[in-house]
Chains A and B, each alone.
Chain A
């Protein structure tokens, strides 16, 4: 069975500072990996995805993530955050044969001025 661990439930950071949100997964098969963002009172929006190919994936709003197979990680990074990045971020995994997603518990990013 697959599982996803987001290592931090909350990450406070000052505006224009870099940020890393950590995600580790476990799976016995090859996987697809995703990061979604949820702004207050909204549904989830896809930030980026890793399906195959380059292990460094660039997404929307200046975010990027690196797939590390040996460490089973898919950490999300942004070099300089804005107040508008305040949201909850979810890491998710699916196996390559299907479409079911397994989500982590989420990380709340709080950007302070």
Chain B
């Protein structure tokens, strides 16, 4: 079974901090994705990556950046956290043209 592991289930940070969310997958998937999930809005794509060291903006990239130095790891970075970034963050991975597999999510609160 594919395993997508997000480093934290719950995280509390302060406004202005630099925040790192880590995601690791163990199935050699090319594609990795970061979403945020908000009630009534479903999942919205922040960034995705089709290969090591490559990244592409999703629908809501403002205020975020990403890093993919190794194939199995995809990090989401909040450069200067703000309260409107309080949300559930979900990481996913997939092979090309195959369904995405999701981690359990990180519930991030920015105070």
A residues whose Cβ falls under 8 Å from a Cβ of B: 4, 6, 9, 32, 34, 36, 41-46, 49, 90, 96, 99-101, 103-106
How many Å lie between the Cα of A89 and that of B94 in the bound state?
Answer: 20
State the main secondary structure of chain B at its contact with A: strand
Find B102's partner among A4, A43, A96, A100 (CB 8 Å cutoff). A43
Residues of chain B lying within 8 A (CB to CB) of residue A49: 99
B residues whose Cβ falls under 8 Å from a Cβ of A: 4, 31, 33, 35, 40-45, 48, 50, 58, 90, 92, 94, 96-97, 99-105
Chain A residue at smallest Cβ distance from B102:
A43
Further pairs besides A46-B101, A100-B45: 17, Cβ < 8 Å: A9-B40, A32-B97, A42-B105, A43-B4, A43-B102, A43-B103, A44-B92, A44-B102, A45-B102, A46-B100, A90-B42, A99-B50, A99-B97, A101-B43, A103-B42, A103-B43, A106-B40
